[in-house]
Structure 1
Amino acid sequence: MTTALLYGLATALPLVGGAWLGLRWHIPRPLLAALMAFGAGTMIAAASSELFEPAFRSVAAWHAGLALMAGAGTYAIASHLLDTRLGTASVGWGLMLGSLLDGIPENTALGVSLTGSGGIVLLVAIAIGNTPEAIGSAATMRDAGGPTGGSRRILLLWAATGAVLVLVTVGAHALGDSIGSSSVATVQAFAGGATIAVLADTLMPEAYTDGGWWVGLTTALGFFVAFVLGG
């Protein structure tokens, strides 16, 4: 249980720390774009090699595909609703939503995998991706204003998000023996779909808007770093 708690904290602290950095300093937009693009690259690697591939190998292709599309569809619909209600402020909220929609199944998979060899690999991939995502989201939420209630409330929201992910990791580890491989594969594929939707809908377009043509290089660098760490 202690190990699960430490792993959960290791995924949550980058979220809270990244949000604090994004709120504390007005990071130049090109640098923020580079961080977001780097995080996008790590998320691409995690979605493919740490989430969907294990699911695809564990269950039938149609099963993994349906879970993947369910994750992507859930985020796409929720993000569209945010766009409709919040306008420009929706980008930061969309990234926070993405942290939950891909973080909950990711941390579920992390919790049940702690007895195997994949735990540390998935932990590193999650932690690397969480930091720039939180920095970009918190900074965007602060700059956009809207119904967030100021920097203190934004930080509290990210702290609550991190706390949820810690609880998910601990709970999944405690119930690990009763969670079948098919269920684990489903949440992994769901997380992969949500991650892909976050990338396509929010993270990569925002990075390109703020950075420009060169962010593709930073994205590739993030992918390479995560791939090497997971290799």
Structure 2
Amino acid sequence: MGTALLYGLGTAIPLVIGAAIGLRTTLPKPLLASLMAFGAGTMIAAVSNELFEPAFVQAGAFTAGVALFLGAIVYVSANHLLERRVGASAVGWALMLGTVLDGVPENTALGVSLGSAGGLVLLVAIAVGNVPEAIGGSALLHRQRNVATGRVFLLWVLTGLVLVAVTVAGRVLSDHLGATPISTVQAFAGGATIAVLADSLMPEAYREGGWWVGIATAAGFLVAFLLR
């Protein structure tokens, strides 16, 4: 339980730091894009090594594959609904809600992975990806939607606490589930994460950073791969 709490905090603290940075300063767009691309590279390695591969080995191609596609379908559907409800005029809210939408399957998988002494690569991937999301979301909420600084910061703190709770819940869940259900959760989270990368993180990084983000993505993948 203590390890799950620490890992959960490891994903939440970058959110709080990112929110503080976004409220106090404006970082260059290429730098933010590079952070997003680096995070995307780490997530690619995490999905391959810590989510889908263990599920594939344990549960087999059919179960892992179905769970993978379900994860992607659920994320894409929820994200589409969010965009329709919130709209382009409230990008800051969309980023914050999107962080929760991304984080629930990712942090659940993180908690579940701790039961098999894994999770380090996934922790790094989630933490790196959370920073630019929080920077961008907090800045947009404060400057474009005129939400008070204290309220914006509190919202991101609450978002971080949700992710901590989800990580701990995933760890508790792993103690009461068999190997196949755990593998299904991992593959489902992997599918959702792939959809996050394809729909949001990588397109946004390329739009803001251009050609350089390909190198940053490769760097993130290498770092995560070496942490296995």
TM range (shorter): 0.7 to 0.9
Equivalenced residues, count: 228
> Residues 166 and 69 of structure 1: is their aligned pair in 2 closer, same or farther, counting only changes over 3 Å?
same
* Cα 1:82–1:34 shift into 2, 3 Å: same
In the superposition, relative to structure 1, how do residues 71 and 176 fare at CA in structure 2: closer, same or farther (>3 Å)?
closer
Q: Which moved more, 1:80-89 or 1:198-207?
A: 80-89
Confirm or deny: 8 A CA contact 2:38 2:217 kept in the other structure.
yes
- Structure 2 unaligned blocks of 5 or more: none
> What is the 5 A alignment of 1:212-223?
212-223=210-221
Aligned partners of 2:16, 2:43: CA distance in 1, in Å? Answer: 18
AA aligned opposite 2:116:
G
User: 1:225 is matched with which residue?
Assistant: 223
Match of 2:87, SS state, is: helix
- Sequence identity of aligned pairs in percent? 64
Query: In 1, distance between residues paired with 2:108 and 2:142?
Result: 30
User: Per the alignment, do residues 187 and 151 of structure 1 end up closer, same or farther by CA in structure 2, a change over 3 Å counting?
Assistant: farther
Q: Which residue of 1 aligns with 2:159?
A: 161
**Which 10-residue stretch deviates more, 114-123 or 62-71?**
114-123
Which residue of the partner structure matches residue 80 of structure 1? 80
Question: Which residue identity is paired with 1:51?
Answer: L
The letter for the 2-side match of 1:202 is S
**1:4-60 CA distances to partner (integer Å, 9 max, x unpaired)?**
222221221112212222222111112111111111111111122211111111213
Structure-2 residue corresponding to 1:65: 65
Q: Alignment partner for residue 178 of structure 1, among 176, 179, 188?
A: 176
| TM-aligned CA deviation for residue 193 of structure 1 | 1.3
Separation in 2, partners of 1:2, 1:20: 26
Q: Give the C-alpha shift of residue 82 in structure 1.
A: 2.7
Separation (CA, whole Å) in 1 of partners of 2:185 and 2:115: 18
Structure 1: 4+ residue segments shifted above 4 A: 89-95, 140-144
Pick aligned residue for 2:205 from 207, 218, 225: 207
Aligned residue for 1:16? 16
Aligned to 1:135: 135
Does structure 2 conserve the Cα–Cα contact (< 8 Å) formed by 1:36 and 1:207?
yes
CA deviation digits over 1:129-184, x for unaligned, max 9?
33233334434544553xx8344333323222211121122233334321222221
Q: Is contact 1:82–1:90 with CA below 8 Å preserved after alignment?
A: no
Q: Aligned equivalents of 1:29 and 1:170: distance in 2? A: 34
Which segment is superposed worse, 94-103 or 17-26? 94-103
> TM-score, normalised on structure 1?
0.85
Tell me which moved more, 203-212 or 125-134: 125-134
Q: Is the 8 A contact 2:115 2:175 kept in 1?
A: no
Cα 1:90–1:131 change in 2 (3 A) is same
In structure 2, relative to structure 1, the CA distance for the partners of 1:73 and 1:112 (3 Å cut) is closer
Alpha-carbon distance in 2 for matches of 1:228, 1:98: 29
CA RMSD of aligned residues (A): 2.4
- Normalising by structure 2, we get a TM-score of 0.86
Q: Which runs of 5+ in 1 are unaligned?
A: none
Post-superposition shift, 1:213?
A: 1.9
Q: Quote the offset at 1:91 in angstroms.
A: 5.0
Instruction: Give the 3 Å change call, closer, same or farther, for CA 21–162 of structure 1 in structure 2.
Output: same
Aligned residue for 2:180, secondary structure, equals helix
